[in-house]
Structure 1
C-alpha cells in the first residue's frame, strides 16, 4: 500500500476547496440548556460559506432537512450551493469524524478513512465512524483505512481526528504529544511515536512532524492542535500565547512557542512564527471552555474566526487578516457555541478541489 499512497498528500486548508462538509446540530445534550441558538449560529456559518463554495450538510432525516432549509432560507444562505445528505450522526464535529482527503500531483483525490472512537471518551460513535466511507461511496472515490502492525504482529486500524493535526500541504504536520501520545483518552494503545510518524508519511504524505506538548485548558479532546497552533502559509505558523502568567494556559503555550522557535523546515531553515492572543477565560456553569481564536476555518476567499465578546477579538481578527490579505475575514460569535466544547474548525471538514 505504501508505494501506492506515497504520491498522495494532504493539501493545506488554504488550497482551493470543492466544498465544505458539516453536520446539522441535533444533539441537545451537546449544548445542555443552550441548544436553542445553536442552529442559528450554524445558519450564519453556512450563509458565509455558501457565498464562496458548496456546502454539504448531513442531517438525520427528512424532518431535520426541512427545518434546516427553513432556517437557512431565513438567514439568506445560498441554497443552490447547499447539498443535504440524510445520514445519521452521533455528533456534529466533522473535523474529527469526517473524511480526510488526500490528493496526488495529477489532481486525483482519495479518502483516508481513519477510525473514529469519539476521542476515546464517549460511548456513542458508530454513526460518525461510518461517515468517511459514506462520502467515498457518494463520490465513487477510493478510500483507504490506515493501519499499523503492533509488536505482537496484529494489525490495528489507526484512530485519528482531523482536529489533532494541521499541515502546510508540503509535507509538514503539526500535532501534540498530549493528544496522540498520552495515556489519557488514549487513541492508539501500543502504537509508538515512530509508528504514527510512519503512518502520517504513508497515508498523508508527511515528511516531518512538529510535536507540540499540550493543548489549551478546557479542551475535551485532550490536546487538539487546532485550538493552539496552525499553519497559515507554507513556512508560516500562527500560535496562541497567553500573556497572563497566572492563567493555566500561560506555561503550556509558552513551551509550544519555544518548540516552534527551534523547529526547522525541510530545508533546515526556521519557520516564520506569528502569535495570536487568547480570549479571557470563558466559563459557563463553573466549567472552563476551550475558547480560542486558533479554531478558525479557511475557506475559498474567506476565513471564519471565532469571537467571544472580548477586547482581544479585534486583535485576533486583525492578526488573521494580515495572514490572509486576499481573503475576507469574518468573525462568528461563539460564546454560546463553545459550550459544545468545539468551534468553527471543529465543525467543518474541507474537500479539496
Structure 2
C-alpha cells in the first residue's frame, strides 16, 4: 500500500445524504464537503459518491452555487450508509508488477455497533459494497478480503517503507475478527499491505464507536516522523499512559527511533456551528495529504493557526487548507476519516 503522500490520481468522498440520519444531518455536513471539494479540485481528481441521481443533482447545484470548477470532479451513484469512506472504501495497493489493485477488506460497522440515539444497529451493508462497485466501474482488479479480515482504513497507518502502526482494540477484537491472533493478522497485513514491521498500541475497546482508531492521534508525517500530540494532550484525548510510552518509544523497520512532531489539541472544547458545546477538545492529527494541498481539521479555535503552521512546516511543497469540521466532529471523525486516496 503506497504512502498517502505519494502522487494521487484522485480522492474519493462519500457525500452526506438524508436516507440514513435525516435532512438536518445532511444539511449541517454539506458545507464541509463543499470546502473539501473546492480545496481538492485544484489538486487532483475528486470522485464523489452520490446516493442516487437526485442527490447527484443536489450536490452539483451546491458546487455550482459555490463557483467550484467541476472539470476534475466526477460522480458515481452508489448507495451508502454514511460518509466514512476511509473505513469502508477501496484500499488501493500495487501488486508485485507495480499494477494498481483495489483491496476490499471486510467492513461490519465498527464491530456491528448500535446508534447511540436510536439504539438501532448501524447500517453498513451499502458501505461494505463500495470497493467492489468502484473496482467494477474503474475496471481495476479486485482482491476480495471480506472473509479474510475485517479492517477499516482508519485502523492502520502505513509509512510506505514497511511499517504499520495500529491499535489492537480496533482490529484484534472479537467484534471484528473473532479468534484471530496477532500473528495471523500480521501475516495478512504483510501479504496484502507490504508491512513487515509493526507498532502495536493496545487501544481501548469501547472507548468510542471505532474502538480507538490510530488516525485520530498518531500519523506518519513521513518515513522518519510521527505526528501526534504531547503526552498531556494524549492523556486528555483518552490515550492510556502505557500506549503513550509505546508510541514515543516506537522505532522504524531499521530500528531507528522516529522523530516526533507534536500538534496541540484545540484550546477550548469544540462548539458546533449552532453554538452547542460538544464538551471535548478537537484533534488536528486527522489531516489528509493531497497532491498540492493538506486538508487540516479546523474548529474556529485559537489553536487552529498554530496547528496549521506546524503541519505546514512538514509539507513545504503543499499548501495547508483548514476545513471547518465542527459539525462533523460530533459524529466522531474529522478530515482523514472521510477521504480516501487513489494513487497515480
| Equivalent in the alignment of 1:162 | 153
Of 237, 260, 284, which residue of structure 2 is paired with 1:249?
237
Separation of aligned partners in 2, 1:287 and 1:83: 34
- Give 2:250's aligned residue: 263
- The answer to whether 1:171 aligns with 2:159 is no
1:64 to partner: Cα distance: 0.6
Distance 1:219 1:283 in 2: 19
Aligned residue for 1:174, secondary structure, equals strand
* Matched-pair contact (CA < 8 Å) for 1:242–1:277: no
* Cα deviation, residue 105, structure 1: 6.3
Q: Which runs of 5+ in 2 are unaligned?
A: 114-120
> How far apart, CA to CA, are the structure 2 residues paired with 1:228 and 1:32?
31
Residue in structure 2 matched with residue 153 of structure 1 by the alignment: none
User: Which SS does the other structure have where 1:88 is aligned?
Assistant: coil
Q: CA deviation at 1:123?
A: 3.8
SS state at 2:210 partner: coil
Instruction: Indicate conservation of the 8 Å contact 2:233/2:264, yes or no.
Output: no
Does 2:71 correspond to 1:72? no
Count of residue pairs brought into register by the alignment: 332
Pairwise CA distance, 1:137: 0.9
Secondary structure, aligned partner of 1:37: helix
Where in structure 2 are the equivalents of 1:81-100 lying within 5 Å? 81-100=72-91
Q: What's the counterpart of residue 211 of structure 1?
A: 200
1:70-106 CA-partner distances (Å, limit 9, x unpaired):
1111222220111101111111110011010101464
What is the CA-CA distance between 1:141 and the residue it aligns to?
Answer: 1.4
- Paired residue for 1:221? 210
- Match of 2:107? 116
Offset, 1:272: 1.1
Matches within 5 A, 1:1-353: 10-27=1-18, 30=21, 33=24, 35-104=26-95, 106-120=97-111, 121=113, 122-146=121-145, 156-182=147-173, 186-214=175-203, 219-241=208-230, 243=232, 248-249=236-237, 252=240, 254-279=241-266, 280-282=268-270, 288=279, 291-353=282-344
Are the counterparts in 1 of residues 20 and 81 from structure 2 also a CA contact under 8 Å? no
Supply the RMSD in Å over aligned alpha carbons. 2.4
Q: 1:32 to 1:274 in 2, by over 3 A?
A: farther
Separation in 1, partners of 2:92, 2:304 = 31
Give the C-alpha shift of residue 224 in structure 1.
0.6
Q: CA, structure 1 residues 113+325, in 2 after alignment: closer, same or farther (shift >3 Å)? A: same
Distance 2:307 2:207 in 1: 20
CA deviation profile, 1:301-346 (whole Å, cap 9, x unmatched): 1100001122221221111111111110011111112123221111
- Rounded to whole Å, the distance in 1 between the matches of 2:37 and 2:186 is 35
**Which structure 1 segments of 5+ residues have no match?**
1-9, 148-155
Q: Using the alignment, how far apart are the partners of 2:281 and 2:158 within structure 1?
A: 21
CA distance in 1, matches of 2:24, 2:102: 37
Query: What is the CA deviation profile of residues 233-256 of structure 1, one whole-angstrom value per residue up to 9, with x for unaligned ones?
Result: 0111111236369x643652x544
Contact 1:241 1:278 in 2 (8 A): no
TM-score by length of 1: 0.87
Offset of 1:287 from its aligned partner?
A: 5.6
Q: Return closer, same or farther for 1:347/1:101 CA change in 2, 3 Å cut-off.
A: same
Measured in 1, the distance between the counterparts of 2:142 and 2:335 equals 26
Match of 2:116?
none
